Each structure stands twice: as structure tokens, then as C-alpha cells.
Amino acid sequence: MKKKNPINDYIDIQVAERRNLKEHNFKLKKYLIFIVFFLIFLLPFISPAFKSNFKVYFFRITNSKETVNDDLSILGHLPYNEISKEKLVFIEPNIEVHIDMRKSLLKMRDDAKKNGINLVFLSGYRSINLQKDIFYSLKSMKNQIAAERAKVSAPPGYSEHSTGFAIDIGDAYKRETDFEVEFENTDAFRWLKENAAKYHFKLSFNKNNENVEYEPWHWRYEGSIEALKVFEASNRKLKKLQN
């Protein structure tokens, strides 16, 4: 009678399994070697693409910081800090400007008057909060998106009016052209174009400006060190655009 040995059976099975595993390992190694060779073969084709992707990615990381520092503008407007209240003076019951430019601005209006030109001051200093109201309320009123609105009004924190060095001017004889491009056809504008520089006033948004629409009524003062400092960044950007 043949005695059944469960232990042997057990060992046999184990041996058989082990052999099987060995064969399996061998196959796996073959596959691995094949894959490694295949990858080595592919390397010259893959690596340039990988390298360039890596470069693009790395370039973006290193340059993103630079871009932010280099150009802080939003929709074509540069950021401006709000002037401190002590530096503001009233030139009309409802119009405040930076104290540095009061004398020059009033002299300009007086001299214009001597030439038969009647300049009207429409808007001077505007707080960032007021600019917020103007920008967002007008935007929703006119059903405009921010980019469209920014062409005719600066986003809050980005208006020259918050520096106290900006003044919107109209023609007393042509009030219908207030804040309109047609203001450029008035005697007041022609006079300003010819004479404003003598009083250190300059048109902020001229016809060459790509991002912000032409504003013949909006002038800024560059006749003091503080004013020059404030607008230096803006001038630098303008130079860059013209080059």
C-alpha cells in the first residue's frame, strides 16, 4: 500500500512553485532588460522635448517674479498711493488738489483768462474710495466689463486723481464737451496744448496710448519733486512703449 506523505506533497508543491517563480522572475528580468533598452533607445527622441518643457517651466518660474516687479500696471493704469490729507488744499468749494500745484494751476487759469480762454476745473483729488464707487458703479451701470471700463476710468488705487496731482479741465463756453473727446476741438484745449507745459502740466493719456483711451481733459502736474517721483514710474513705462 502506498503511503501518502502529506509532507512530501507539501514540499513538492513548494518546489514546483519555486521553480515556477524562478521562471517567472527570469521572464520579468527579460522584460525589464527589454524595457530599459527600449527607453535608452527612446532617450535621444524624448530628452529634447523634456528639456525644452523643463526650460519653459523653469523660465516661467524665474521670470514671473520679474514680470510682476517690472510692470505693476492693471489694464494700462499704474498704481498710485493716496496722498495724505494735510497736503490737500481747496481751489474750488468742491475741488481739492495737492498743495504743490495750486499756485501753478491758478496762475494757468488766470493767464488763460487774459487770452479770452475760460478754463473750468471739473475734478481734482479723488480718494481711492470715491474711485471705487466711480469705477464699479459706472461699470455695472454701463454693463461694461472691467477691461472696457478701465479704458475710460482708472480702477481704484490706480488713478492719478488719488495723488492730488491730476486735474480734469473743461471749457466754460463749451460745457457739453466736459469729459468728452470733443473737448479737443475747443479753444480751451488748443490753449492748453500750447501753454500747459509752461505751468508744468502735461496730458496724461494722449492719442498714442494703447491701453487707455485719449482723455484731452485730463492733465497732470509734474512741477515738483514729489510730483516727479509719483509719475516717474509712469514716465518710464511710457518711454518703454515708445522705444
Phi, psi values for residue 170, rounded to 5°: -125, 175
CB of 168 to Zn ion, least distance (A): 4
CB of 202 to Zn ion, least distance (A): 13
Please give the grid coordinates belonging to residue 192.
492748453
Q: 100 vs 168, which CB is nearer to Zn ion?
A: 168
CB of 215 to Zn ion, least distance (A): 6
Both ends of the chain: CA-CA distance in Å?
A: 107
CB 159 within 8 A of CB 126: yes
Q: Which residue sits closest to Zn ion, CB atoms considered?
A: 218
CB of 216 to Zn ion, least distance (A): 11
Cα 14 off chain centre by: 73
Q: 98 vs 218, which CB is nearer to Zn ion?
A: 218
CB of 166 to Zn ion, least distance (A): 5
Binding site for Zn ion (CB under 5 A): 168, 218
Q: If DSSP codes are grouped into helix, strand and coil, which group holds residue 98?
A: strand
Gyration radius of the chain's alpha carbons: 36
Q: 149 vs 218, which CB is nearer to Zn ion?
A: 218
DSSP-assigned beta bridge partners for residue 221: 201
Q: 174 vs 218, which CB is nearer to Zn ion?
A: 218
| b (16+ CB within 10 A) / e for 193-231 | eeebeebbbebbbeeebeebebbbbbbbbbbbebbeebb
Q: 65 vs 90, which CB is nearer to Zn ion?
A: 90
